[in-house]
Amino acid sequence: MQRYASWGNYPAAPQRGRRIDWRGDALPLPADGTTFLPRGLGRSYGDSCLNEGGTLLDATGLDHWIDFDEERGLLRAEAGLSLAGVLDVALPRGWFLPVTPGTKFVTLGGAVANDVHGKNHHRSGTLGRFVERIELVRSDCGRLVCSADENSDLWRATIGGLGLTGLMTWVELRLRGVRGPMIDAESVRFSSLDEFFELAVDSDSRFEYTVAWVDCSARDRSLGRGLFLRGNHATVPGPVAARRPRLAVPFDAPALLLNRWTLRAFNALYYRRQRRKVVRRTMAYDPFFYPLDLLQGWNRLYGRRGFLQYQCLVPLEAGRDALHSLFSRISASGQGSFLAVLKLFGDLPSPGLLSFPRPGPTLALDFPNRGRTTLALLDELDSIVRACGGRVYPAKDARMSAQSFQAYFPEWREFTRYIDPACSSSFWRRVTPRVEGRA
């Protein structure tokens, strides 16, 4: 049996797996009547890709292309195909992902199930907006094609549905045409959150991709300083062949590698690396979109105890004050994050029922797992986010309380109607404990 963990290596729980390798096969339901959860490449950080006590249905063998309309940029492929696999074929033919997360090592099915967003959210919204059709295989009603016109309730529930609505066998996705693989990128230094918001508002009209890195170990006057990265698809040609990871982390690093001093030093150096206010360059898409993919297994830098990601969003009106509170709290805790990523979401709505993004700033952080102190800090962050009407991203969560989840996602009650009765996940049982067994 394969060993399965989540990307954050927390929580650590033994997982049973079964594989499905052909889309025409019947759903291999666990014989003992326990639940299953479709599983892709396991890049979800917390427990939304785990099913302790049940079975993980490993769908990475479902990686066949079915169709590619090169005129219209419409692909149909099995749900276990990775975004890297999509790019390998589509990019040389002038097509790019309409929306891409920060790693290309996720499956199409996983990307739909988490309704992923990217640096172009202000222009394009989430990936779910480009999903034309999906095929779902369910334990109760068999095989269904779902789209905006057909089984539309299930289509909406499956986009961002965390894999709980049944097994996705294939996905039909509209791609975006590009002239080449290069990106005209700019990096702009900013010294405060106010400056970030000015840059974001100014850049979002001129750049398809925007995102910022924030030094969250900085305090007082430097609080909120960082680098703003923005870019557009370039028209110059370049090499379309993808870069393979050049370095790999071969084993779990010692737990003390990432401590408050290395973290502060890293953040300060990263900020100071850029001396000029603005740096422009034309770069390949790989390092622009997927810088961390070049370091295979970077999650192991956090050691055996793993790490926790925290991605929240706050409404636009509350944005500045809430972010200020969040950064102050994190900085005071001394548990800062190596990579704090800030992005202003746009207002394009997703069809997904449980889709995460809403208009306003979103902040993503990662924290080495130090047990209770880390969990306590994240609970404090939750209270700030809840107070201003924000929410936390399930794909990255391993610890939010059921009360928090249900406050963040009031749609969850409606969503339970669409859950496949044979599906469950560790995440779902954690955030909806009372309906367990009744759904």
Partner 1 sequence: MSPRRVLVLGATSAIARETSRRLARGGARLFLVARNAERLATVARDLEVRCGGSVGTLAADLNDETRHGEIVERADLALEGMDTVIVAHGILGDEQRGQASYAEAEIVLRTNFLSAASLLTVIAGRLEARGSGTIVAISSVAGDRGRASNYVYGASKGALSVFLQGLRNRLHRRGVRVVTVKPGFVDTPMTAHLDKGLLFARPETVARGIVRAIERGADVVYLPWFWRVIMLVIRLIPERVFKRLRL
Contacts with partner 1 by CB under 8 A lie at: 1-3, 18-19, 21-24, 61, 64-68, 88-89
Q: How far is CA 341 from the centre of its chain?
A: 12
**Smallest distance, Å, CB 68 to partner 1?**
5
The answer, yes or no, to whether the previous bond of 368 is cis (omega within 30 of 0) is no
Nearer to partner 1, 3 or 372 (CB): 3
- Shortest Å, Cβ 241 to partner 1: 11
Burial of 323 (0-12, 13-18, 19+ CB in 10 A): buried
Which residues are CB-contacts of 409 (< 8 A; sequence separation ≥ 6)? 354, 391, 394, 415
Least spacing, CB of residue 251 vs partner 1, in Å: 12
Nearer to partner 1, 244 or 260 (CB): 244
Both structure tokens of 207 = 């750049």
- Residues ≥6 apart with Cβ < 8 Å to 232: 183, 184, 207, 208, 209
Phi, psi at 418, each rounded to 5°: -100, 0
Phi-psi region of 62 (alpha: psi -120 to 50; beta: other; left: phi over 0): beta
| Nearest distance, CB of residue 88 and partner 1, angstroms | 8
Query: Which of 73, 38, 69 is CA-nearest to residue 55?
Result: 38
Residue 288 Cβ vs partner 1, minimum distance, rounded to whole Å: 25
In the bound state with partner 1, the residue whose beta carbon lies nearer, of 90 and 162, is: 90
Q: Which residue, 65 or 270, is less far from partner 1 as judged by CB?
A: 65
Pairing of strands 131-138, 167-174: antiparallel
For the bound state, the minimum distance from the C-beta of residue 177 to partner 1, rounded and expressed in Å, comes to 18
Identity of the residue, 68 or 266, whose beta carbon is nearer to partner 1 in the bound complex:
68
- State which residue, 67 or 379, has the beta carbon closest to partner 1: 67
CB of 250 to partner 1, least distance (A): 12
Task: Kindly state the smallest distance separating residue 66's Cβ from partner 1, in Å.
Answer: 6
**138: which strand partners?**
142
* Rg over CA atoms, the chain: 21
Q: Which is nearer to partner 1, 29 or 279 (CB)?
A: 29
Residue with tokens 């290395």: 262
Please enumerate in sequence order all residues whose Cβ is within 8 A of that of 130, keeping only pairs 6 or more positions apart, or say none: 98, 99, 124, 173, 174, 175
Residue 381 near residue 30 (C-beta atoms within 8 A): no
Total residue count of the chain as it appears in this document: 439
Using DSSP, state whether 351 is helix, strand or coil: coil
Q: How far is the CB of 143 from partner 1 (least distance, A)?
A: 14
